[in-house]
């Protein structure tokens, strides 16, 4: 007897949260397998991406941009620093806070990960089609971008850039 075809899941398969979670686990599973040779998790990849694109940000800024809780973020960053992929440097303007940078090793890793990410994303798009992917991303943004809580839509996050800090990025 196939368990998958004989169970009554009630309202679950139509519930946004339930299907979202199932889909997220499938996509992350593919990501984990693809990135296993580099021992990089989705969260680590996000952090490295934001640091790469915005060198010199504080920990709170990166954590806020990614919606990661401060305590979880500290652990994530400790691990990236231990592996010499990212580093904290004392911020010039505020000696109590740290500015984040990729190391040369971290930057090199990010270059190596580019085709891995592309292949992962292509496998996901293969299940949806290009138009399906576009629509899915649009619908997900409609959930994430909460006009009542912040006026800015996530897609607008790319429009402007912060002033570069004085120090040169690695």
Site for a copy of itself in 2-61 (CB under 8 A): 2-28, 31, 42, 46, 49-50, 52-54, 57, 61
Of the two residues 104 and 152, which places its CB atom closer to a copy of itself in the complex? 152
Cα separation, 22 vs 35, in Å, equals 20
Of the two residues 89 and 133, which places its CB atom closer to a copy of itself in the complex? 133
Of the two residues 82 and 117, which places its CB atom closer to a copy of itself in the complex? 117
Candidate list 33, 78, 90, 141; residue touching a copy of itself; CB under 8 A: 141
Asked if 130 touches a copy of itself (CB under 8 A), the answer is: no
Closest CA to 168 of 111, 102, 120: 102
Burial of 34 (0-12, 13-18, 19+ CB in 10 A): middle
Q: 94 and 102 in contact (C-beta within 8 Å)? A: no
Asked if 116 touches a copy of itself (CB under 8 A), the answer is: no
Asked if 137 touches a copy of itself (CB under 8 A), the answer is: yes
């Amino acid at each position: 007897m196939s368990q998958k075809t004989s169970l009554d899941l009630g309202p679950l398969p139509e519930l946004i949260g339930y299907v979202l979670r199932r889909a997220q686990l499938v996509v992350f599973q593919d990501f984990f397998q693809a990135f296993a040779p580099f021992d990089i998790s989705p969260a680590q990849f996000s952090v490295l991406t934001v640091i790469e694109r915005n060198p010199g940000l504080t920990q709170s800024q990166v954590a806020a941009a990614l919606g990661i809780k401060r305590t979880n973020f500290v652990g994530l960053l400790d691990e990236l620093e231990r592996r010499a992929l990212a580093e904290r440097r004392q911020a010039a303007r505020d000696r109590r806070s740290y500015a984040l940078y990729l190391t040369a090793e971290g930057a090199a890793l990010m270059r190596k990960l580019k085709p891995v990410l592309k292949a992962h994303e292509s496998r996901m798009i293969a299940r949806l089609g290009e138009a399906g992917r576009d629509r899915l991303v649009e619908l997900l943004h409609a959930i994430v971008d909460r006009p009542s809580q912040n006026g800015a839509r996530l897609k607008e996050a790319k429009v402007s850039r912060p002033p570069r800090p004085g120090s040169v990025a690695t």
